[in-house]
């Protein structure tokens, strides 16, 4: 499995860097409820489960010999999503979307103020989630291709 190749093919790092730089007002991060986030997810047909204990949305995608878990965290308007890619024997990747970008761009952290976008209002939250959904959909499609 070559995660780096999949990221490069869909230009993940460039798109995510742009998203982080567009929404970087961490001091004004909004406080959104689970129901607000859930409604946005439903509106774009982004099916995720909710873990009340951890206060995150997530979903597992099963492939032949590994699992990809996508996690969406929304505390304080910080949309800090992550992936865990693993199989029965080991963890292949574990980290935030910024960490995923660093696999192909060592200077990613120098190009963004924060490694995640911050929503200050509902419209920003909608745009961030929509764009992350598009990135995520493209990423998962690359795994489905093999």
Going residue by residue through the chain, which has 146 residues, state the pLDDT in tens, using 9 for 90 and above: 689 999 999 999 999 999 999 999 999 999 999 999 999 999 999 999 999 999 999 999 999 889 999 999 999 999 999 999 999 999 999 999 999 999 999 999 999 999 999 999 999 999 999 999 999 999 999 999 87
Inside any domain, residue 119: yes
Inside any domain, residue 103: yes
Inside any domain, residue 136: yes
Report the alpha-carbon distance of residue 29 to residue 78 in Å, rounded.
7
pLDDT at position 1 is 66
Inside any domain, residue 146: no
Domains in the chain, number: 1
Inside any domain, residue 137: yes
Inside any domain, residue 55: yes
Q: What angle do CA 71, 113, 131 make, to 5 degrees?
A: 45
Report the alpha-carbon distance of residue 111 to residue 18 in Å, rounded.
9
Inside any domain, residue 117: yes
Inside any domain, residue 116: yes
pTM exceeds 0.75 = yes
- Domain ranges, residue 128: 3-141
């Amino acid at each position: 499995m070559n995660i780096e190749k999949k990221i490069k093919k869909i230009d993940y790092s460039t798109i995510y860097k742009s998203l982080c730089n567009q929404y970087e007002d961490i001091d004004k991060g909004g406080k959104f409820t689970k129901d607000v986030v859930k409604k946005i997810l439903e509106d774009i047909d982004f099916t995720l489960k909710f873990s009340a204990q951890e206060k995150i949305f997530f979903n597992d995608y099963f492939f032949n010999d590994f699992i990809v878990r996508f996690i969406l965290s929304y505390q304080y308007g910080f949309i800090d999503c992550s992936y865990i890619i693993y199989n029965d024997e080991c963890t292949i990747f574990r980290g935030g979307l910024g960490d995923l970008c660093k696999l192909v761009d060592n200077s990613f952290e120098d190009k963004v103020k924060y490694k995640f976008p911050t929503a200050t209002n509902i419209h920003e939250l909608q745009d961030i989630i929509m764009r992350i959904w598009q990135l995520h959909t493209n990423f998962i499609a690359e795994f489905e291709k093999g």
